[in-house]
Homo-oligomer: A and B are copies of this chain.
Amino acid sequence: MSVTAAQGFTAAGVTAGLKDSGNPDIALVVNEGPSAAAAAVFTSNRCQANPVLWSKEAIKGGSARAVILNSGGANCYTGAEGFATTHRTAELVAELIGSGAVDVQVCSTGLIGRLLDEDKLMAGVRSAVDALDAGGGDAAATAIMTTDHVSKQSVREGDGWRVGGMAKGAGMLAPALATMLVVITTDVDLPAETLDEALRAATSRTFDRLDSDGCQSTNDTVLLMASGASGVTPDADAFTARLTEVCGDLAMQLLADAEGADHEIAITTVNAATEADALSVGREVARSNLFKTAIFGKDPNWGRILASVGTSDARFDPQNLDVAVNGVWVCRDSGVGESIDLVDLEPRHVTVTIDLKSGDASATVWTNDLTHAYVHENSAYST
């Protein structure tokens, strides 16, 4: 269902031959209206792929009638020729569905530094338009997969309206191959400004707190399109809450499918002076290769956690920190706490709790462990 769960959307997933594997590689989602309100957030990386350069400008009007996504090539660092390809893709979709090109968002994912085969791409766009279907959500979610093992979809319901989405990516573990792309649709009737606020609030607490390896993709995009087809205008807070649930659900699916990871790790910082402090601590720990290899080795090495906490600028007393791993307080007052032998790191899901004893704010950042499989997959795939 995903992007076709809400009323007013059709979708398709087809095979254009951009991927050597012969798997589906083009997805199209069309907003049939009556509204075309839309919002999007993009990677904060300053080096951005051509489809991001296009889509960022195109979304400024606050509307989108369609989004066309291809796997099999990121169209990044492909220069003016690559940008022209993105532009022509949008123009072709616009012509076929009867809209302006500026109302077509474009997303690409795959290897960077290579031009897309435009003949195959354009033929694929035509096939996708022909295949548009009100039940096409599954096909679209499958066509955007690259190294993903499963397609990611999520749907939530409000009072007479729905919000649903699809995502691809492997926890940003391999942005060059596995950019995070997310398309969310809803049939609420809300203006673009409200959608934009809701999307920024939802992504800041979900996708933005997923930090598999600290690397930022050049192509990351989260797009929200609203058809208004339900005729319902929900309270903005109620809509934001459901939207955040969809984003959170998709984020956890991305985390669980991270390439080469053995563990999903939730790092929760509690009793921080501010939420920003809690996030800062969580991100430092999430980016420590020493911590991540320790978890891979099933070693509740709290010294490496404290060493990472010490590199943050959050407020705390270095002599007075507590750390729990899977609920066992292995570090008390920055010294030895309960026995590390009590910690069972066999399960995939790991929780780390860091008590800063400096306030009442908290936040959770999610990451994965650093494994042999990560090194293998990221050193080998393009050679």
Contact = CB atoms under 8 A, between A and B. Distances in A.
Interface of A: 44-48, 76-79, 111-114, 174-176, 213-218, 287-290, 293-294, 296-299, 301-304, 306-312, 318-319, 321, 331, 333-336, 370-372, 374-376, 378-380, 382-383
Contacts of A333: 79
Nearest to A378: B293
Majority SS of interface residues in chain A? Answer: loop
16 contacts: A46-B311, A77-B306, A77-B331, A175-B290, A213-B290, A214-B289, A215-B304, A215-B307, A216-B307, A290-B378, A297-B380, A370-B375, A371-B375, A372-B372, A372-B375, A374-B375
Given A175-B290, A214-B287, A290-B174, A383 B299 contact: yes
Contact of A215 (B79, B214, B289, B296): B289
Given A79-B333, A215-B290, A311-B216, A47 B378 contact: no
A112 B340 CA distance: 13
A182 to B, nearest CB: 19
A260 to B, nearest CB: 10
Given A79-B334, A335-B79, A318 B113 contact: no
Contacts of A288: 214-215
Report which residue of A44, A321, A336, A371 has the largest number of chain B beta carbons within 10 angstroms of its beta carbon: A336
